[in-house]
Amino acid sequence: MKGVYVLGFIEAIKQKVGQEKFQKVLQHAGFKQEPVIFAIIDVDDGVFFRIIHSTSKVLNVPLCKITEIFSDFWIHHFTQKLYRKIYQQYNSFKDLLLDLNWLHEMLTKYLPRRKPPKFEYQWENEKTLLITYKSKRNLIDLVISHAKAAAKFYNQKINITKVGENTIRVEFLD
Is 96 a domain residue?
A: no
Count of Cβ atoms closer than 10 Å to residue 31 Cβ: 15
Would you state the pLDDT for residue 102?
94
Question: Which pLDDT band, with edges at 50, 70 and 90, does 160 fall under?
Answer: very high
Closest listed residue to residue 28, CA positions, set 51, 45, 61: 51
Taking only the tens place, the pLDDT of each residue in 114-151 is 788 999 999 999 999 999 999 999 899 999 999 999 99
Query: Dihedral of CA 14/56/51/70: which sign?
Result: negative
Taking only the tens place, the pLDDT of each residue in 24-59 is 999 999 999 999 998 888 889 999 999 999 999 999
Query: Does 158 have pLDDT greater than 90?
Result: yes
Backbone phi and psi for residue 104, each to the nearest 5 degrees, phi listed first: -65, -40
Question: Which pLDDT band, with edges at 50, 70 and 90, does 2 fall under?
Answer: confident
Q: Which domain holds residue 121?
A: 104-172
Q: pTM of whole model > 0.85? A: yes
133 Cβ contact partners less than 8 Å away, ≥ 6 residues apart: 117, 118, 119, 139, 140, 143, 166, 167, 168
Is 160 a domain residue?
A: yes
Query: Are 122 and 77 in the same domain?
Result: no
Is 87 a domain residue?
A: no
Question: CATH number of the domain that 149 lies in?
Answer: 3.90.1520.10
